[in-house]
Structure 1
Amino acid sequence: MKIRTFRTRAMALAATMLAAAPIALSPMVATPALAWRIVYDPTNYAQNVLTAARTLEQITHQITSLQNEAQMLINQARNLASLPFSALQTLQQNVQKTQQLLSQAQNIAFNVQQIDQMFSQKYGSVSMSSTDAQLVANARDRWKNTVGGLQDAMRVQAGVVSNIDTNRTQMSALVNQSQGATGALQATQAGNQILALQSQQLSDLVALLAANGRAGALTEAERAAAAEQGREQRRRFLTPGSGYQPGNAQMFNNGN
């Protein structure tokens, strides 16, 4: 009984081991096949695609931001670029030419002290003690001053006219520079130079008015001084004893 029981238990144990053997060996056989199989998870794939799209969108925004910043820097550089053209030297030369013509005024220059001195000597009241020769000399000096003033005015007029062609060239160049400006600074500098050109033209106009006014003032002053001198000469002519004295005049040689 014991042997049969032992055999029965041994056979049962063997059967159990045989039954369990496929289960124990199955992982050893199936494991390599499962290691090479790709598992597809739709939820995980969708999340990965969404993450990649969001990352791409962020990169696109960063690229756009960098492009905008680069364009902003380019625009700032353009706005800070200086104008590669200057008409200042030419305009200053024109002003100097006009000033030189004014400084070359004859006899009575544009000087307050000199004007006061000359008018007190030549254009003031005629002194009764002045000789006829002095009166004639003063009248000639006044005439020279008037003629010189007229000549000076015409010289200034000629100088202003000669500046017109130069101003036209500079104005054309400045307008082209203003229209082709790459930034705000260049446009502003071109506008400032155009204003400088207008200032130079205004200075020429002021010089022209001053020269013409000087010539006109000298003409009127000579006329007023001539009228005063004429009255003095007439008084001397009509004054008894010192004026005209009748006498005998010999018109033909009597042969002596």
Structure 2
Amino acid sequence: MTRTRKLAGRAVAALLLSSAIALSPATAPPAHALFGGFGGIVYDPTNHAENLLTAARTLEQINNQIAQLQNEAQMLVNQARNLASLPYSSLSRLQSSVQETQRLLGEAQRIAHDVTEIDRAFTEDYGAAAARGDFDQMIAGARGRWETSVAGLEDSLKVQAGVVGNIETARAEMGALVAESQAATGALQAAQAGNQLLALQSGQIADLTAAIAAQNRAQTLETARRVSAEAQGRENLARFLDYGSGYEPTTVRMFGG
């Protein structure tokens, strides 16, 4: 700023000199008026005032141009800040947490989260199917359903443990993203920080969904086991009470007679 004003001052001085030279033929008094009786130069105050006014106007125009250039430069700086990208990304860590939850869900034992497998299991092992077969087959089916219920409870606990483990990751990422948002230098950085906070919230919702799904799966398997046990119990009772055609007398031989 100081250097610019120095250059402006030099330009004004040069302009004053050139103005004085340029205006002297038009405004100079006659030759006999330039020299008095004693040979001195006559001073024209009107011409001098006009030259000063012209120089002042020229200096004002230069200052206005300098201020305009400064405003344009500041505007470019602000635009650059608004277009600057956020130097922080939490995407890989958030994706890692979601993938870990998906892995735990994918390790579901026996009846997994698959529609085809669920249809097959409930057709062959649960409900009315629990009352088919002989006594040994019923015992084996009941034991299998009990083991499936236990496995479902174990899977639910694993998923819940994974979700709890992701809480610390979410806390750390939340703190980092809030700090980046508060320190953002432009609109783009603030928007990107906000988007990553939304992604973090989406990851937490995914964890919550996984935990609820795993818990509901365990509860559903246990409920299905109880219903199947009731169906099997009714069938066992019916078989026990089935006396066939009843007692029929027959001829009995005793003592070889």
TM-score (norm 1): 0.79
Partner Cα distance (2:94, 2:108) in 1: 22
Which residues of 2 match residues 131-146 of structure 1 at below 5 A?
Answer: 131-146=134-149
Aligned to 1:213: 216
Greater radius of gyration (CA): 1
Residues 1:157 and 2:160 are matched in the alignment: yes
Aligned match of 1:185: 188
Within the candidate set 59, 63, 83, 1:80 is matched to: 83
SS at match of 2:137: helix
Larger CA deviation: 221-230 vs 122-131: 122-131
Corresponding residue of 1:13:
none
* Distance in 1 of aligned mates of 2:91 and 2:132: 57
User: 2: distance between equivalents of 1:193 and 1:121?
Assistant: 47
Q: 4+ runs of 1 displaced by more than 2 Å? A: 126-129
Specify every segment of 5 or more residues in structure 1 that has no aligned partner in the other structure, as ranges.
1-26, 243-256
Q: Match for 2:99 among 96, 100, 113? A: 96
- Give 1:110's aligned amino acid: H
- What is residue 12 of structure 1 aligned with on the other side? none
RMSD across aligned positions (CA): 1.9
Residue in 2 that maps onto 1:233: 236
Equivalent pairs counted in the alignment come to: 212
CA distance in structure 2 between the partners assigned to 1:56 and 1:82 by the alignment:
41
Quote the residue 1:45 is aligned against.
48
On the 8 A contact 2:131/2:232 being kept in 1, the answer is no
Aligned partner (choices 108, 112, 133) of residue 109 of structure 1: 112
- SS of the equivalent of 1:110 reads coil
- Shift in Å, 1:207: 0.3
Report the Cα distance in structure 2 between the residues aligned to 1:38 and 1:239, rounded to whole angstroms: 149
Q: Which moved more, 1:151-160 or 1:117-126?
A: 117-126
Change (3 A) 1:172 1:141: same
For residues 157-192 of structure 1, give each alpha carbon's deviation from its aligned partner in whole angstroms, at most 9, with x where no partner exists: 000000001110000000000000000000000000
Measure the CA separation in 2 of the matches of 1:112 and 1:127: 20
* 1: CA distance, partners of 2:120 / 2:224: 14
Identity of aligned residues (%): 58
What displacement does 1:49 show? 1.1
TM-score (norm 2): 0.79
Unaligned runs of 5+ in 2: 1-31, 246-257
The answer (yes or no) to whether the contact 2:153–2:218 under 8 Å persists in 1 is yes
